[in-house]
Amino acid sequence: MAKKNIIPNPKTKFLLIKCIKCGNERKVFSASTTEIKCDCGQILVYPSASKAFIEAKVVKVLN
Ligand SMILES: [Zn+2]
């Protein structure tokens, strides 16, 4: 009996990131197409063609 595990592999996920400047945590979309700024003015996520660049500490990956 074959057991088949189907593991969904979404291209995008939510990340909990922490601002390297002020330590404020927030949830962001890993494939954000818009620039995300922290309240302190630090840019946390830079959008690019296929994925976002995270300029902050990734605390954890949320499902
Ligand atoms: Zn900040």
Is 52 part of any domain? no
Question: Most distant CA pair in the chain: distance in Å?
Answer: 56
Residue-range definition of the domain harbouring residue 25: 13-30+57-63
> Which residues of the chain fall short of a pLDDT of 50?
none
C-alpha 21 – ligand 1 centre gap (Å): 5
User: Against a cut of 0.75, is the pTM above it?
Assistant: no
**pLDDT tens-digit series, residues 34-51:** 899 999 999 999 887 777
Buried-state track 50-63, b at ≥16 Cβ within 10 A, e below 16 = eebebbbeeeeeee
Q: How far is ligand 1, taken at its centre, from the CA of residue 43, in Å?
A: 8
Q: Is residue 62 part of a domain?
A: yes
* 3 domain-assigned: no
In the chain, the number of structural domains is 1
- Domain-located, residue 17: yes
CA of 35 from ligand 1 middle (Å) equals 14
